[in-house]
């Protein structure tokens, strides 16, 4: 049995590593997979392929986006990440001393830490893996053949071609190795001068589309490639060291990196917000509420999420102030020009029936994706807004785009059947209701008075209970006591409650006591806002 274990130790360790990575993302951080998937839209079209390979590193980017589209299902995304990190380990293992199995896992474990930053793109890992395999399978390539291969690798995989050059220089141990470095620098400068002038020179040198932000990728990401190279170098000198010490040190290093990856790589509050966004997308309202009961980040995004979940389950009037409220922005945040902050605001507008505001927010969110990608989730919502508004020609253009994707294709085909069919739309469970609930007239409004728009939305259609709850809640957040007390009659007449909601009873007691009720949940919020303003 012991002999069998030793013989198959490598396979067993790899299987355990793959299982760990799979469970880590599928159980602990499925929101991470959701975030990546909703920030791109892979299309099966020649134009899409040409647009990617038109820049350095484009093929790695294309392969990465092809893989990330499968993150639509968290279990499939988790498996893909596990296979990518396992491929990275295997590539390092091939280029290293075969006795140093644990040491070859260090770059993959460091990758888990780097991936804690949700804006790190998988094109980096695709490029690194392919380049390492190229360094192994072309290790006997003549230097003249490298004159052709290196430019091809640079254009296909990007700036990580430096790792290939470094490995070739180290393996050849030729005194002319420095010519490789001059060659790749010349290639990058030539590409910048002739083709890539729209990109900053530093991005050409360090990699385009390895990171979603406009800035350079974080140092930790590049450290993955550097450590992979150092492991390859170090493995050539292990014969001079005590093997037991090397194995013990490798295991200790792997354990430390794994702990750092798990406990420092994934910011708790940040990932709670990503989780809320995923659950809103999946309409898991009760889970949002139960999670907030245990832990809730103190920010507007979290307040919006819990308020929408409470509103959709008709608990907002009762339990609104059981949770942290950030202020007047706890219902709807003002416009923020990034690809995430207004996601819950847009969903809230959509569910309230404020179609044009939802369309504006969804469109701004898509245009704010930092690497200029489309979003399947946002394209779908934008299409729905145009259908509700009866803008069928524009809706058709978005449907045609979605039909070129894998996981949105069937939805787009179904949505296409509704175009120009008013009766079908009226009977649709979501679009039909939105058409009934949206404003009867067009309005311009300023954000500080947005709660009045909730009131007007309710006045146009008194069946819109969510609009009533948001109207009353908005006045409480703003401290409009007179308005709240004056419109309580609408709650009694149209709220559909068997008795006055506990949250409103609590607020009324606080208002009538002129702020003297110290046990009031609403009073805690008021004092919190007063201290913040002071």
What's residue 3's pLDDT?
Answer: 53
Give the torsion through C-alpha atoms of 30, 33, 34, 38, to 10 deg. 180
pLDDT at residue 486 is higher than 50: yes
pLDDT at 527 over 60: yes
Distance, in Å, from the CA atom of 128 to the CA atom of 111, rounded to the nearest integer, reads 11
pLDDT at 1 over 60: no
CA distance 399 to 70: 20
Checking if the pLDDT of 2 tops 80, the result is no
pLDDT in tens, 355-365: 999 999 999 99
CA 182 from chain centre, in angstroms, equals: 38
In the chain, ranges of CATH 1.25.40 domains: 272-418
Cα–Cα distance for residue pair 453/446, rounded to 1 Å: 10
Please give the pLDDT value at position 4: 47
pTM metric for this prediction: 0.93
Tell me the pLDDT tens digit for each residue of 297-313: 999 999 999 999 999 99
Q: Could you tell me the pLDDT band of residue 239, with boundaries at 50, 70 and 90?
A: low
d(CA 98, CA 112): 23
The highest-level CATH class for domain 272-418 is mainly alpha
* Number of helices followed by number of strands (H, E) in the chain: 31, 0
């Amino acid at each position: 049995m012991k002999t069998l274990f030793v013989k198959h130790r490598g396979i067993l360790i790899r299987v355990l590593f793959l299982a760990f990575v799979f469970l880590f993302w599928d159980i602990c951080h499925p929101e991470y997979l959701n975030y990546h998937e909703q920030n791109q839209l892979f299309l099966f079209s020649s134009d899409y392929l040409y647009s990617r390979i038109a820049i350095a590193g484009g093929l790695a980017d294309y392969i990465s986006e092809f893989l990330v589209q499968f993150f639509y299902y968290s279990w499939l995304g988790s498996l893909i990440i596990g296979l990518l990190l396992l491929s990275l380990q295997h590539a390092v293992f091939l280029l290293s001393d075969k006795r140093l199995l644990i040491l070859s896992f260090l770059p993959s474990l460091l990758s888990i830490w780097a991936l804690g930053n949700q804006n790190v793109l998988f094109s980096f890992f695709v490029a690194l893996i392919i380049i390492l395999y190229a360094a192994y399978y072309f290790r006997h390539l003549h230097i003249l053949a490298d004159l052709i291969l290196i430019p091809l690798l640079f254009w296909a995989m990007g700036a990580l071609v430096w790792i290939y050059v470094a490995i070739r220089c180290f393996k050849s141990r030729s005194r002319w190795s420095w010519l490789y470095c001059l060659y790749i620098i010349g290639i990058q400068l030539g590409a910048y001068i002739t083709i890539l002038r729209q990109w900053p020179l530093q991005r050409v040198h360090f990699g385009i589309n390895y990171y979603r932000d406009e800035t350079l990728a974080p140092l930790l990401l590049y450290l993955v490639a550097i450590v992979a190279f150092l492991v390859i170098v170090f493995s050539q000198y292990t014969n001079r060291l005590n093997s037991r010490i090397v194995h013990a040190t490798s295991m200790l290093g792997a354990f430390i990196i794994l702990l750092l990856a798990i406990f420092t790589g994934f910011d708790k509050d940040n990932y709670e917000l990503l989780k809320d966004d995923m659950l809103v997308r999946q309409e898991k309202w009760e889970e949002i509420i139960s999670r907030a009961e245990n832990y809730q980040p103190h920010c507007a995004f979290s307040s919006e999420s819990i308020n929408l979940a409470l509103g959709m389950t008709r608990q907002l009037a009762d339990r609104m102030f059981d949770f942290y409220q950030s202020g007047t922005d706890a219902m709807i945040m003002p416009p923020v020009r990034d690809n995430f902050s207004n996601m819950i605001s847009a969903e809230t507008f959509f569910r309230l029936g404020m179609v044009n505001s939802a369309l504006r927010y969804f469109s701004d969110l898509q245009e704010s994706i930092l690497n200029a990608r489309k979003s399947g989730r946002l394209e779908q919502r934008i299409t729905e807004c145009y259908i509700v508004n009866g803008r069928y020609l524009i809706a058709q253009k978005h449907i045609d785009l979605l039909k070129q994707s894998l996981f949105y294709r069937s939805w787009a085909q179904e949505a296409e059947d509704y175009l120009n069919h008013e009766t079908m739309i009226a009977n649709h469970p979501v679009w039909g209701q939105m058409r009934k609930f949206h404003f009867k007239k067009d309005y311009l409004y300023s954000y500080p008075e947005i709660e009045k728009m909730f009131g007007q939305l309710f006045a146009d259609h008194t069946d819109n209970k969510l609009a009533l709850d948001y109207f009353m809640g908005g006045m409480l957040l703003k401290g409009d006591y007179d308005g709240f007390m004056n419109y309580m009659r609408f709650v009694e007449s149209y709220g559909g409650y068997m008795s006055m909601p506990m949250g409103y009873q609590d607020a009324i007691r606080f208002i009538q006591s002129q702020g003297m009720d110290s046990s009031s949940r609403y009073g805690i919020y008021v004092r919190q806002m007063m201290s913040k303003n002071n």
